[in-house]
């Protein structure tokens, strides 16, 4: 598979992941809120509407807007300049995850980042891949694995970036990954696009670690 095919597959997986989020998270909330609001509007002309359904509908709309902002954060580029020889990527990870995984929607979680100085400033394409893989891996760990602690570690050895994202979540069978796990497919596509590799180490009811290794030019 050449780079054009990899890029096409990566874009398709990313689009599918976004569509999955909208279909499963945003639309049900908006549909439920809309149904309540329409019903209460009809009742308003005959009797005083009960405040509880309106409060529920308002909460659903607020949740939908929050999820919408989260989806936008997933698609937002951190602004890495491909014309710049070196960029720092790790400083964007924490702020991006705080936007995507706010405390109101998920249990409390802690993130530790240990990135060596030489791994902080790497070529823009690899930096972008490291950023995206880190964000997606942490997001998967907290949302799907119910992890409460995640550790990101990165270093450079023999002119190669070695990145790992480990968590204390519930794990999964790496040999039976569902076809709708677009996040994993997208991470693997991003790694391959820059000539790197992505490995998953996990099992049910055990921690998970995502490894991204890539030679630096």
Quick one: 169 exposed, middle or buried, by C-beta within 10 A (0-12, 13-18, 19+)? buried
Q: Are residues 175 and 99 in the same domain?
A: yes
Nearest Cα residue to 210 out of 202, 96, 173: 202
Percent of the chain with pLDDT over 90: 32
Same domain membership, residue 176 and residue 116: yes
Q: Containing domain of residue 30, as a range?
A: 3-75
What single string gives the DSSP state of each residue in 58-114? HHHHHHHHHHHHHHHHHH------TTSS-EE-HHHHHHHHHHHS-TTTS---EEEEE
The total number of structural domains in the chain stands at 2
Shared domain for 135 and 211, answered yes or no, is yes
Which among 114, 189, 122 has a CA at the least distance from the CA of 152?
114
Structure confidence by residue, pLDDT tens digits, 190-202 = 899 889 999 999 9
pTM of this prediction? 0.69
Interval 160-216: pLDDT, tens: 999 999 999 999 998 887 766 778 888 998 899 889 999 999 999 999 999 999 999
């Amino acid at each position: 598979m050449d780079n054009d095919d990899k890029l096409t597959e990566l874009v398709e997986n990313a689009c599918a992941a976004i569509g999955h989020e909208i279909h499963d998270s945003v639309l049900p909330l908006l549909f439920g809120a809309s149904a309540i609001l329409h019903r209460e509007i009809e009742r308003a002309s005959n009797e005083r509407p009960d405040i509880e359904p309106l409060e529920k509908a308002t909460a659903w709309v607020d949740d939908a807007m929050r999820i919408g902002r989260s989806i936008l954060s997933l698609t937002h580029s951190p602004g890495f300049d491909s014309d710049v020889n070196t960029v720092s990527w790790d400083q964007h990870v924490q702020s991006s995850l705080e936007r995507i995984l706010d405390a109101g929607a998920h249990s409390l979680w802690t993130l530790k980042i240990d990135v060596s100085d030489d791994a902080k400033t790497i070529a823009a394409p690899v930096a972008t891949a490291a950023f995206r893989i880190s964000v997606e891996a942490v997001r998967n760990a907290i949302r799907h694995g119910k992890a409460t602690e995640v550790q990101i570690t990165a270093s450079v050895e023999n002119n190669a970036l070695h990145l790992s994202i480990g968590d204390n979540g519930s794990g999964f069978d790496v040999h039976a990954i569902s076809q709708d796990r677009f996040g994993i497919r997208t991470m693997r596509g991003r790694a391959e696009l820059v000539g790197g590799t992505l490995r998953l180490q996990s099992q049910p009811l055990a921690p998970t670690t995502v490894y991204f290794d890539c030679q630096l030019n």
